[in-house]
């Protein structure tokens, strides 16, 4: 397999692989909607997963404070920080088996500074607001995004945006920031207008739940078809898929590479 080639993350100047590695499963095994139970991997298994990802051409890793010990594990085990694009989030915390949210400016700064310590880095490539579903209220009536913009000006963050849950929120996030992370798969295309807007305006789209939280994997060839469906949609920079299984990682990368090859042989009209 030819390693994945990076593509622009909108107009941020950042280059990301079309397949990103989601890391919730390396740090949290409670309160998730995956169809199968799993146990948290060992440090050795996590390190091997990161090494496999880089061999496949994956350079983008996605985490969040709400992912349990994920940030700490990445900071401890990720090799060659400079070779990776690291994205994390603010707003959601997960403690004692439950999520709670805080979108205040003070908490936003505190969360970013804590992520920098946990990830053992002096900058974050991107930080997204981890929405509770009230996208517009968060963007319009809290100082969360303003605080992120200030941290960006200070050089601690390269790009900012929001992991949204509504079409209106996705559009507003693109209007006010660099990136919208949206849900998009063959059974959920309602947020397609957000992707189309990003394509027209040069903003970035990252897709979550392309495999419908693992439920698509139950269908024959489901993962491969799902990734090809998403990556064939113009305007998408990267798809985040969470896995701790190296076999699944290779299969997902193979599907993304096939889509990459098809795009190269059939370029969009200019």
Could you tell me if 50 and 79 are in contact, meaning their C-beta atoms sit under 8 angstroms apart? yes
> Tokens standing for 237?
């920079």
Question: What is the C-alpha separation between 150 and 109, in angstroms, rounded?
Answer: 9
Distance from chain centroid for Cα 268? 25
Mean pLDDT of 33-39: 78
Question: What is the C-alpha separation between 178 and 180, in angstroms, rounded?
Answer: 7
pTM of the predicted structure, to 2 decimals? 0.93
What local confidence, expressed as pLDDT, does residue 184 receive? 96
Residue 179 pLDDT more than 70?
yes
Map tokens 């051409």 to a residue: 57
Residue 172 pLDDT more than 90?
yes
Residue 43 pLDDT more than 70?
yes
Could you tell me if 236 and 195 are in contact, meaning their C-beta atoms sit under 8 angstroms apart? yes
> Which residues are part of the catalytic machinery?
67
Distances (CA, A) of 122 to 21, 118, 125, 162, 205: 21, 11, 10, 21, 25
Supply the DSSP string of 87-101, one letter for each residue.
EEEESEEEETTEEEE
Could you tell me if 22 and 249 are in contact, meaning their C-beta atoms sit under 8 angstroms apart? no
Question: What is the C-alpha separation between 78 and 21, in angstroms, rounded?
Answer: 12
Could you tell me if 205 and 179 are in contact, meaning their C-beta atoms sit under 8 angstroms apart? yes
Question: What is the C-alpha separation between 84 and 251, in angstroms, rounded?
Answer: 21
pLDDT-based confidence at residue 270 (cuts at 50, 70, 90): very low
Kind and range of the H or E element at 128? strand 124-130
All domains of the chain in start order, with CATH: 7-264 (3.20.20.100)
- Residues 19-30 have pLDDT tens digits of 999 999 999 988
**Structure letter (DSSP) for residue 151:** H
Supply the DSSP string of 207-254, one letter for each residue.
EE-TTTTTTGGGSTTHHHHHHHHHHTSTT--EEEEE---HHHHHHHHH
Please, what is the average pLDDT of the chain? Answer: 92
Residue 93 pLDDT more than 80?
yes
Residue 174 pLDDT more than 60?
yes
- Residues 231-250 have pLDDT tens digits of 999 999 999 999 999 999 99
Which of 33, 40, 97, 102 lies closest to 73 in space, CA to CA? Answer: 40
What local confidence, expressed as pLDDT, does residue 34 receive? 73
What local confidence, expressed as pLDDT, does residue 266 receive? 62
Supply the DSSP string of 33-96, one letter for each residue.
--SS---PPPHHHHHHHHHHHHHTT--EEE--TTSTTHHHHHHHH-S-GGG-EEEEEESEEEET
What local confidence, expressed as pLDDT, does residue 264 receive? 62
What local confidence, expressed as pLDDT, does residue 37 receive? 79
> Tokens standing for 126?
């991107």
Percent of the chain with pLDDT strictly greater than 90? 80
């Amino acid at each position: 397999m030819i390693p994945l080639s990076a593509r622009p993350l909108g107009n941020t100047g950042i280059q990301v692989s079309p397949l990103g590695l989601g890391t919730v499963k390396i740090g949290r095994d409670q309160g998730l909607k995956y169809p199968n139970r799993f146990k948290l991997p060992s440090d050795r298994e996590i390190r091997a997963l990161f090494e496999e990802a880089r061999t496949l051409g994956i350079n983008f890793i996605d985490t969040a404070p709400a992912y349990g010990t994920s940030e700490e594990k990445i900071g401890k085990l990720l090799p060659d920080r400079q070779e990776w694009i690291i994205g994390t989030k603010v707003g959601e915390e997960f403690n004692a088996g439950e999520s709670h949210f805080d979108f205040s400016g003070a908490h936003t700064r505190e969360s970013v500074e804590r992520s920098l310590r946990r990830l053992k880095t002096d900058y974050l490539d991107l930080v997204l607001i981890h929405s509770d579903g009230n996208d517009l209220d968060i963007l319009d009536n809290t100082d969360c995004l303003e605080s992120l913009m200030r941290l960006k000006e200070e050089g601690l963050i390269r790009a900012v945006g929001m992991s949204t849950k509504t079409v209106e929120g996705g559009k507003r996030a693109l209007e006010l920031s660099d990136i919208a992370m949206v849900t998009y798969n063959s059974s959920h295309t309602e947020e397609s207008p957000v992707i189309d807007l990003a394509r027209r305006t040069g903003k970035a789209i990252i897709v979550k739940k392309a495999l419908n939280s693992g439920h698509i994997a139950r269908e024959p060839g489901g993962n491969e078809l799902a990734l090809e469906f998403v990556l064939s949609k113009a305007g998408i920079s990267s798809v985040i898929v969470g896995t701790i299984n190296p076999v699944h990682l290779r299969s997902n990368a193979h599907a993304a590479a096939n889509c990459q090859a098809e795009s190269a042989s059939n370029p969009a009209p200019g």
